[in-house]
Structure 1
Amino acid sequence: MAMATDGQLQLKIRDGQPENMFRVILEEPEGGAKFDESTDGGDETCILTVFIKTDVVIRDPIDKMRSTLAVRWGKAKTGNANWGRQFKDAVFDVYGDDDDLDEDEERTVGQKAYAWSFHVIQLPWKIVFAFIPPTDYCGGWVCFCFSLIFIGLVTAIIGDVAAIFGCCLGIKAMGTAITFVALGTSLPDTFASKTAAQQDPHADASVGNVTGSNSVNVFLGLGMPWTIGAIYWAAGANDEWRRKFGPGTEPHLKIPEAFREGAFIVQAGDLAFSVTVFSICAVLCVAILAARRRLFGGELGGPLPAKIVSAVLMISLWLVYIGMSFWKMETS
């Protein structure tokens, strides 16, 4: 007869798989019993190690879950560090990327003053946009959604400021829309296209960025307001709507009978003329790009005189569009 001491339950990793393990220790044999010296424990004790293997059906999902949680936790830690670094860079990063400077090259006094001036002006916006989470969360979807929200807020601010500014100068709403609002919302696309043109050997990225952003502006900028307006007016007309489009007004007879109790109405105004002028200028712009490819082998770059002439022509097309639109607004 031998006495068994309490075993200790442990979790071991054996061959890459978790196993429950405990030991049974026998000691103080009685009745003339002896332990084999060659076994584990020697002649004083006898040790039995018991392994309880985990069921494969249960173990595999647990392993996958643990591996997934470990990966996501690592990404979350990296994302938290990057998010904190965004605020640090927003406050202390004055010069931005220093890759354009050699190791032995230093900034001039003018370059330092220029960088610090813009840093002070941009500091509130840098801090605000530092709240956008980095791309480490949920595969970048959190960053994407927050970026859209912040872009919408900035666009709304630009629209309101431009409307107030145009009202102070006595400029009509359409004139404000095609000048101040368009400049405020399109300059980021312009700088993005400039960066794409510098980093890509072809002009596809820069030209595609401009045309793509304008497509989003037109489709989203027209589709969403019209959808919201249609849903709102489908609930019925109010006094202001009846005063403009109700019985006794000139537009009332042009409204289909099914919608005379309330409908979302958008008067065309000078839109046809503006679109026509813009289309002509767009065709001329594409013709300039095609001519540059034929003459200089590319839409962008080339000799300095050619770049200056191309830039002047492009800016002139924009001024022609603005001038013709303002002329139509004043004469209509």
Structure 2
Amino acid sequence: DEGSTAAVPAVTVELLSNSAAVASLAASGTPLRFSLELRTLELGAVVHTSRCEVAILDEMAFNERMAQLMARLRSELASKVYAHEAWADRFRDALTLSGGLDEETGTELPPTLTDGIFFCVTFFWKVQFAFIPPKQWHSGLSAFAVSIGFICFWTAIMGEMAKLFGCAVGLSDAQTAIAFVAVGTSLPGLFVSRLSIAHDADANPALENMTGSNSVNVFVGLGIPWLISALYHTLAPGGRGKYRVPAGSLGLSLGLFFGVAAVAVAFQLYRRFVVGADFGGPSARASNVGAAALTAVWVAYVVVACTL
């Protein structure tokens, strides 16, 4: 209002009276920061905030900061545009049968019979997972949510198919889970650990991947279903009160698992202190012997657990 504008000249005069000091400090190249406070208001002026912080930057620092902001803005815009184009390219790649590239000329080769077979095998999966949004959207949260949805959906489908297979061949649910379901759910982690061993400097990423994935399977894979079931039986109208699950036939299998796990840990310690490497070794023979030994331990566990 009119009273608010009347107080401005007084403030301007006060700043101009110190303009020489302000100019000298700003010319030194050091950012100048000070507080501005309105103390005497006239003609009924009303302000909600009477104090503010003022920063005076030299022109070079200001231009440098603006250049950084513009570069970041252009990068963000480019990533958004690239994300849209890359998402569309995923569907084009999934629907197109193509061959490899010539290493010498870089030209695209015509598809071979092997390319056609792999195209038919992976067509359904590539089209389906092409619907996962780009990681640039919503800081990756949308891609994470859709990926988790696909994982949950196919985990449920795989569990039902495993039950049908076990019923067809005469295996119990526990035997089917140990012999087949566990293999299917562990293969992705196996490939990730294999890549970690080949490309990382030490064995920590591979071991952390194995222990971390199994921790998720035990604590989250069992904890969340138990929590949901307990809440349903306690709160839902159709619930039966307390949620109790009787002990099954996995007691001996768990004891056997602890035994073979101790053997595997002892074998890894032997490799670390005697062979000198958690994975691999000084020769291909050491690697092959280690792989064969741990594979034999796993096969023995599956065979014995399925016969208990």
The answer, yes or no, to whether TM exceeds 0.5 is: yes
> How many residues are paired up?
239
Counterpart of 1:139 in structure 2 is 139
Bigger CA drift: 120-129 or 296-305?
A: 296-305
Matches within 5 A, 1:35-54: none
Conservation of the 8 A alpha-carbon contact between 1:132 and 1:146: yes
- Change beyond 3 A, Cα 1:300–1:272: same
Matches within 5 A, 1:266-285: 266-285=245-264
- Change beyond 3 A, Cα 1:275–1:103: farther
Counterpart of 2:191 in structure 1 is 191
Structure 1, gaps ≥5 residues long: 1-56, 58-62, 106-110, 242-260
Counterpart of 1:76 in structure 2 is 80
Conservation of the 8 A alpha-carbon contact between 1:237 and 1:262: no
Percent identical among aligned pairs is 36
Q: Which has the larger share of strand?
A: 1
Conservation of the 8 A alpha-carbon contact between 1:75 and 1:137: no
> C-alpha distance in 1, partners of 2:271/2:116?
38
Q: Which has the larger share of helix?
A: 2
Q: Does 1:309 align with 2:289?
A: yes
Q: In structure 2, the residue corresponding to 1:198 is in which secondary structure?
A: helix
Q: In structure 2, the residue corresponding to 1:182 is in which secondary structure?
A: helix
Counterpart of 2:242 in structure 1 is 263
Cα deviations across residues 49-71 of structure 1 (Å, max 9, x unaligned)?
A: xxxxxxxx9xxxxx9xx979876
Cα deviations across residues 200-243 of structure 1 (Å, max 9, x unaligned)?
A: 121211121111111111111101111111112114796xx9xx
TM-score by length of 1: 0.63
Cα deviations across residues 307-329 of structure 1 (Å, max 9, x unaligned)?
A: 2211111111111221222122x
Q: CA deviation at 1:119?
A: 3.0
Conservation of the 8 A alpha-carbon contact between 1:79 and 1:134: yes
Matches within 5 A, 1:9-88: 73-88=77-92
> C-alpha distance in 2, partners of 1:192/1:271?
29
Conservation of the 8 A alpha-carbon contact between 1:94 and 1:115: yes
> C-alpha distance in 1, partners of 2:99/2:198?
19
Conservation of the 8 A alpha-carbon contact between 1:237 and 1:263: no
Q: CA deviation at 1:103?
A: 4.2
Counterpart of 2:118 in structure 1 is 118
Counterpart of 1:90 in structure 2 is 94
- RMSD of aligned alpha carbons: 3.3
Conservation of the 8 A alpha-carbon contact between 1:289 and 1:299: yes
Matches within 5 A, 1:186-225: 186-225=186-225
Conservation of the 8 A alpha-carbon contact between 2:97 and 2:115: no
Q: In structure 1, the residue corresponding to 2:246 is in which secondary structure?
A: coil
> C-alpha distance in 1, partners of 2:175/2:122?
28
Bigger CA drift: 315-324 or 127-136?
A: 315-324
Structure 2, gaps ≥5 residues long: 1-53, 55-65
Conservation of the 8 A alpha-carbon contact between 1:236 and 1:262: no
